[in-house]
Amino acid sequence: MPTPNDFSLQGKGALIVGAEHAVGRAAAVTLAEAGAKIVIASQEPGTDKQLKEVAKLVSSAGAKAVVRVQSAALRADASATADLAAKELGGLHILVNALDASAYGPAEAADDTAFDKIIESNLKTVWMSCQEGARVMLRAGGGVIVNITSVLAERGVPNAALYCAAKGAVLNLTRALALEWARKGIRLNAIQAGWLDDESSPANKDNEFSKTLRKYLPDNRLVKPEELGGALLYLVSPAAGFVTGESIAVDGALRARV
Amino acid sequence: MILDSLKLDDRVAIITGAGRGLGRAMAVKLAEAGADIVAAARTQAQLDETADAVKKTGRKCLIVPTDVTISAQVNALIDATLKEFGRIDILINNAGGGDGTLGKQLPDIGDDDWRRGIDTNLSSQFYGCRAVAPQMVKQQRGKIINVASGYGLRGGKHNFMYACAKGGTIQLTRSMALTYAQFNIQTNCIVPGIFPHNEEMMQFFKGGKFIPIGRVGDDSELGPLAVFLASDASNHINGELIAIDGGGLAGGITPTGVSPESSN
């Protein structure tokens, strides 16, 4: 049993939700490279163009991607997406939730609409995707789910109270669901991304915060979305059969300091 | 290509406590991934068995009998590896156990029991990190994996030495990560749950009845995690702990295998 086979996803089907984001895009490519069949679904409607680009990357990685543009915040969409994935993939073995909508601003200025919006886009979407994915997986005897959250799940940062709250909730949602479904064949784990080098990251701007932050990072650089790939592949592969309710930070040692 | 980044072809890996159990399982799996192995432990006969298993994969295995509680011997282990292979890509500080405090009440734990336990489980890992770091700095590349335990994160009744030593392992890992991040050296921690090595342990843990996933771990399951943390697929993971415990630490505050009744 040569080791690379421990991590092979040949014959597995994976659904990546939030594939229009840099992290979701990288996740789709990683799992395709490892041999999985792929369905990519969006977080927001109106993302046809982005998803088509991701589908192209997936196909360069050797897999055909089925594209599903949806609103991950709508129950009917989340439900139909899980069913579609199971049908297209011949069973939903792997679900990756790369759902995220970063939101920064002073707490005093946040109204109730902000609360609902931030919690819905960062937490409710993940909850519904887990529920609907698990509905399909439980029927088939199991599966594996990875929720991508942030190192902010366990640390605070100013001007992001609701975002931090939602990210922390995703982490603990992952733990609790992992325990609930542990004996039903579903493993759930999280990945906590450090400060990301992607288009939506506040760390990736030319400003004072970003400059100071880089000096503070243990290896002075941001995390590239594709660098989450190793942790993702390990967690979804059969090699991690005894790993559930766990979270892996990909942050270049940032969390070891704070 | 992600699968290629998990290969360890021609890397050199030192594993302490490699004579049995988790250490041997990791040695063999790293060899299957392509690494040459340096197997260290106290007992020659056990190392011979590990070497046989490694050689079956087609990789080399250097045996270096080592008492990891003696820093001069750990230094000699590093020297012997460099003499044979010329570099060190991976160090797994796995040796541990030897708990003379087990089953004793606090007032009955002697200084020697305490010191021997801390030396075996924590000082040994410090000696390994200290001895290998200069070489890895020279290479501008290295992977260190320290094996801790769930007891590094939680307390245990009548569990003093082991919990303290393993908690120390976790802090050693973090400080190594922060100190050597700039030299492209990643130090991480594996946190194994229950991996029984004999029938008696299996009985004691009731076959994993109280582990969320409903079973105990098998030694072979540690190998792929070690490969992942030793490989380029984990290059931006540093100072991190990864529990492989069937959900043990995710719960922890309630007895597992039971749950609160539905409230509506």
- Give pTM, 2 decimals: 0.95
Option in B29, B238, B242 nearest A3 (CB): B29
Residues in a beta bridge with B147: B190
Look at residue B31 and tell me if it is in a domain. Answer: yes
Inter-chain contacts counted by CB atoms under 8 A, chains A and B: 164
> Taking the CB of residue B78, how many other CB atoms lie within 10 A of it?
22
Q: pLDDT digit string (tens) for A150-199? A: 999 999 999 999 999 999 999 999 999 999 999 999 999 999 999 999 88
Domain-located, residue B253: no
User: Which pLDDT score is estimated for B258?
Assistant: 65
Q: Write out the DSSP string of A70-112.
A: --TT-HHHHHHHHHHHHHHHTS--EEEE---------GGG--H
Q: Which two tokens stand for residue A205?
A: 């701007």
Q: Do B6 and A4 touch (CB under 8 A)?
A: yes
Cα B52–Cα B26–Cα B162 angle in degrees, nearest 5: 120
Number of domains in chain B: 1
- The answer on pLDDT for A2 being more than 60 is no
Cβ within 8 Å, pair A218-B249: no
Q: What is the mean pLDDT of chain B?
A: 94
What is the nearest CA distance from B259 to chain A, expressed in angstroms? Answer: 8
In a domain, B256, yes or no: no
Crossing angle, helix B111-118 and helix B161-180, to 10 degrees? 30
Please indicate, yes or no, if residue B118 is contained in any of the structural domains. Answer: yes
Q: What is the mean pLDDT of chain A?
A: 95
- Residues of B designated catalytic: 162
Count Cβ neighbours within 10 Å for each residue of B201-212 and write b for 16 or more, e otherwise: eeeebeebeebb
Nearest to A238 by CA among A19, A28, A34, A32: A34
For chain A, which domains are there?
3-251 (3.40.50.720)
Q: Report the percentage of chain A scoring pLDDT > 90.
A: 88
Phi-psi region of B139 (alpha: psi -120 to 50; beta: other; left: phi over 0): alpha
* pLDDT-based confidence at residue B146 (cuts at 50, 70, 90): very high
Tokens of B237: 């993971």
Percent of chain A with pLDDT over 70: 98
Question: B212 CB near a chain A CB, below 8 Å?
Answer: yes
**CATH number of the domain that residue B68 is part of:** 3.40.50.720
Which ipTM value was assigned to this complex? 0.92
For B81, the enclosing helix (H) or strand (E) is helix B71-85
Q: Among B174, B212, B224, whose Cβ lies nearest the Cβ of A239? A: B224
Question: Which among A33, A57, A195, A243 is the top mutation candidate for probing chain B, defined by the most B β-carbons within 10 Å of its own β-carbon?
Answer: A243
Distance CA A210, CA A202 (A): 7
Host domain of residue B91: 4-244
The region of weakest confidence among A73-87, A98-112, B177-191, B241-255 is B241-255
- Measuring CA to CA, how many Å separate B78 from each of A130, A185, B53? 47, 43, 22
